[in-house]
A = this chain, B = another copy of it.
Amino acid sequence: MEPWRTAIVEASDGTIRLRGHDVTSLMTERTFTDTIFLLHRSRLPSDAERALFDAILSSVADHGSGAPSCAAARLAISGNRSSVSAAIAAGILAVGDEHGGAGSGCMEMLAAGLERASRESLSIEQCAVKVVTEHRAIGKRVAGLGHRVHSKDPRTPVLFDLARQHGLAGDGIQLMQAIGAEVVKQVKPMTINVDGALAAVLYDMGFEPTFARLIFIIGRVAGLTAEVMEELTRERPMRIRIPVNYDGEGGGTSSESE
């Protein structure tokens, strides 16, 4: 087999370099957030970029033990107490389009909208009207809006304000806010949720859509590790019993699980 090629890490006896930066200098002079940024952008962040990254990562670290990611991790460690790797992995596997992954679709929507605005010489507001109208016409939900718990997601204005204070706000945030306002006008009050907020900020920082999902996972692993430890130290093995009703062939009575 030919060796694989990589531009990420170079390691030889006594030396480890990440994207050309010696790991020992990253360890002493830089934060973990800098290392995350470096791994994905091949350069260190500015102070502004670091501030936004820190805010995004903390914003998605955890939102409660009952979210699919946290609950899946807890179920896994409840039945399989000897592997924290397995439980954390189970938690990550629940992250997808519907949970933690809407940011990617939202970045694609922003990119397509802005590309079109430029091509058709539309204002951001005109573009937002078109985006919302066309989603409604085909019955598709606009990504990045609405939250089961929050009528106003408290993380969104923090991310947008930080981006503005640090001079990183651009068309992405503007379009996302215009789309949010247009949905309120055409449909009903819906908050721009954290997925929509981080998507807009990451777009303005120059990231590709897939990165919205990756940064969610990096942040969420912090919470998953805490959830797994709490389950392991506070609760008995197999303490979780999800109640189930059988409504299939020949049934009628309630059913319990093993």
Contact = CB atoms under 8 A, between A and B. Distances in A.
Contacts of A75: 68, 71-72, 75, 94
Interface stretch (A109-117, A146-154, A180-188): A146-154
A135 B193 CA distance: 39
Contacts of A244: 3-6, 64-66
Given A32-B53, A76-B93, A79-B96, A71 B242 contact: yes
A217 B5 contact: no
A70 to B, nearest CB: 7
Contact of A62 (B3, B39, B72, B249): B39
A5 B239 CA distance: 12
Contacts of A48: none
Q: How large is the interface on A (under 10, 10 to 19, 20 to 34, 35 or more residues)?
A: 35 or more
A151 B63 CA distance: 39
A84 B104 CA distance: 12
A69 interface: yes
A155 interface: yes
A119 interface: no
A154 B23 contact: yes
Contacts of A26: 58
Nearest to A220: B221
A140 interface: no
A40 B226 CA distance: 6
A147 to B, nearest CB: 7
Interface string A125-145: 000000000000000000000
Interface string A85-103: 1111110111111111100
Nearest to A165: B28
A32 B158 contact: no
Interface of A: 1, 3-20, 23-24, 26-28, 30-36, 39-40, 42, 53-55, 57-59, 61-72, 74-76, 78-90, 92-101, 147-152, 154-155, 158-159, 162, 210-211, 213-214, 217-219, 221-223, 225-230, 232, 234, 237-238, 240-251, 253-258
